[in-house]
Amino acid sequence: MSQIAELIHSSVADDRRDARLYERYRDTLDLPVAWNDTLDTLVAHRSVRAYLPDALPEGTVELLVAAAQSAASSSNLQPWSVIAVEDPARKARLALLAGDQKQIYQAPLFLLWLVDLQRLTGIGEALSAPTVGLRYLESFLLGAVDTSLAAQSAVVALESIGLGSCYIGGIRNRPAEVAAELGLPPNVFALFGLTVGHPDPDRPASVKPRLPQEAVLFRETYGAGDNGLALAAYDHRLRGFQREQGMIERDWTEQATQRVGHDHLARSGRHVLRDILHALGFGLE
Amino acid sequence: MSQIAELIHSSVADDRRDARLYERYRDTLDLPVAWNDTLDTLVAHRSVRAYLPDALPEGTVELLVAAAQSAASSSNLQPWSVIAVEDPARKARLALLAGDQKQIYQAPLFLLWLVDLQRLTGIGEALSAPTVGLRYLESFLLGAVDTSLAAQSAVVALESIGLGSCYIGGIRNRPAEVAAELGLPPNVFALFGLTVGHPDPDRPASVKPRLPQEAVLFRETYGAGDNGLALAAYDHRLRGFQREQGMIERDWTEQATQRVGHDHLARSGRHVLRDILHALGFGLE
């Protein structure tokens, strides 16, 4: 590239960077970094809940699994599996178990990301080696972390080829029924689902503004100080977003606390998660 | 681009794709998908444990946090925070608490990724709204998932600009001491650390081969069948990798089961994680 072409290129990239960051924070974030396509994909993330009926490109599932398996795994234990569900009848049954979310019916692919301690248990049995460590809460937590890292790499991969997705935490509403539907053995738990498809251009998803960085990023030690100002600024910015979207205007601080009140959790069924995990075979000791 | 230039470009991309996938699986994976830089970054991931002392580009921390905050968050609760540690003395103390891993001393930046239910607790107190739902295991798990999705997006971002990183699960060996060092309030837990720096080109990290896809990917329901063949193939491929790396040759199946035996977990201190989380304020009900 000539020097002038390079300057134009980097100036266009800077504009794109600033626009992406503004959309994410609804505020100017002065970041003097060279932009690239991967950063653009990451910062432009949005959860897609409206899909076209179009089939996915050949090899999509295998591509997403390759990206997922490429994520880090603690001690290379690889304690997760994934089930690709495409059968409309099974998708419908899973949708009902996950709070009847319509995007599960609509997306051509529904991935179920599983914390899988059964593979290691089975290997231990075959080798007559003890695997009692799997009974500890630490092992379940390590499985949940690795499953999440894997899924997120799959999400970045699918967005890089123009597809969209939405995490479905509602799959934890009825874990025992979900396990039965998927034929899960003991020590396997569907941590979340992920709908995957071509975003419907007529019903585009929006970038959700996030908390100002000063509310979540600290230096050296936890910022004990008052972050009331940052939260008030966020409430204000999110109201602007809600107005644009034709949504009811409401403070995030109020919304978020309501979400973690007891009633909401109990209605979803997730207040008994610990008991159900025990029943599914996890020790959580 | 002219048609011929485009053909050459896509043929080069196909070769790069096939090489990356071969490196990951030590086997041919026939994936008829158009390759791009983001996919290349994802599949080329490696954990970097040797860093140059060079300072990071200006704005690196803020860039990684922007990528992290752009990841999905369940109900937009954003239940995580991150602490950027650069002080050599603090890094050294944290390294000792995390199994004395030398990459923590060496990396110019050590990020601590925190499940943070304190922000929501504090908001609830300010609004006199109940936040009892945070006491459930579900809330801790949701926090761990969202923290992991965020961190993984930061990892992809840093790799896209040529930096390297390594997750440090060892930070869970001594959670109470880590909390004291970082000044964490109740309801905040350091889920893992992440070293960040310029990879040392004289001590390059390798791509770790992963399980064959047939061992982790199922269609419609969980594959109850015998995956002994896939595991045997993986043991064989990993031995080839170990030979190349000058490591002691050992079956993965044997290594992995040893890792989840009781003794190993007890030596790390993580067998008492549940009790420590209770002491840190988490209900896990």
- Closest by CA to B188, choosing from A162, A218, A255, is A218
Distance CA A43, CA B68 (A): 8
Which pTM does this prediction carry? 0.97
Interface test with A, best of B31, B138, B208, B262 (most A CBs within 10 A): B138
Residue B234 in any domain: the answer is yes
Residue A53 in any domain: the answer is no
Give the pLDDT of residue B98: 96
Name residues whose C-beta falls within 8 Å of residue A57's C-beta, 6 or more positions apart in sequence.
A161, B33
Instruction: Write out the DSSP string of B214-265.
Output: HHHEEESS---S--HHHHHHHHHHHHHHHHHTTPPP--HHHHHHHHTSHHHH
Per CB-CB distance under 8 Å, the chain A contacts of B284 are: 137, 274
Half-sphere exposure in the Cβ direction for A59 (13 Å, CA): 12
| Whether residues A74 and A180 fall in one domain | yes
Per CB-CB distance under 8 Å, the chain A contacts of B183 are: 221-222, 224
Distance CA B62, CA B84 (A): 10
| Whether residues B64 and B126 fall in one domain | yes
Say which of A127, A138, A222 has its CB closest to residue B253: A127
Give the pLDDT of residue A224: 63
| Whether residues B96 and B8 fall in one domain | no
Give the pLDDT of residue A84: 98
Residue A254 in any domain: the answer is no
- Closest by CA to A197, choosing from A18, A29, A60, A71, is A60
Edge-to-edge order in the sheet of strand B217-219 = A164-168, A188-197, A109-116, A80-85, B217-219
- Sequence letter at residue B50: A
- Distance from the A244 Cα atom to the nearest Cα atom in chain B, whole angstroms: 18
Give the pLDDT of residue B263: 77
Q: Is B94 on the interface with A (CB under 8 A)?
A: no
Q: How many residues does chain B have?
A: 285
Residue B159 in any domain: the answer is yes
Name residues whose C-beta falls within 8 Å of residue B235's C-beta, 6 or more positions apart in sequence.
B251, B252, B253
Per CB-CB distance under 8 Å, the chain A contacts of B256 are: 75-78, 120, 123
Residues (pLDDT < 70) of chain B are 1, 224-226
Residue B258 in any domain: the answer is no
Domain harbouring B117, CATH code: 3.40.109.10
Domain of B24? 3-43
| Whether residues A228 and A167 fall in one domain | no
Tokens of A158: 């699918």
Give the pLDDT of residue A1: 56
Q: Are A146 and B192 in contact (CB under 8 A)?
A: no
Give the pLDDT of residue B266: 79
Name residues whose C-beta falls within 8 Å of residue B67's C-beta, 6 or more positions apart in sequence.
A39, A42, A43, B153, B154, B156, B157
Provide the pairing of β-strand A109-116 with A80-85: antiparallel
Half-sphere exposure in the Cβ direction for A212 (13 Å, CA): 17
Give the pLDDT of residue B18: 95
User: Which pLDDT tens digit goes with each residue over B63-90?
Assistant: 999 999 999 999 999 999 999 999 999 9
Give the pLDDT of residue B10: 80
| Whether residues B32 and B137 fall in one domain | no
What percent of chain B stands above pLDDT 90? 89
Give the pLDDT of residue B224: 62
ipTM of the complex in this document: 0.97
Q: Is A65 on the interface with B (CB under 8 A)?
A: yes
| Whether residues A109 and A201 fall in one domain | yes
Give the pLDDT of residue A273: 93
Beta partners for A81? Answer: A114
Number of domains observed in the structure of chain B? 3
SS3 A31: coil
Residues (pLDDT < 50) of chain A are none
Distance CA B224, CA B142 (A): 28
**Residues A256, B77: C-beta atoms closer than 8 Å:** yes
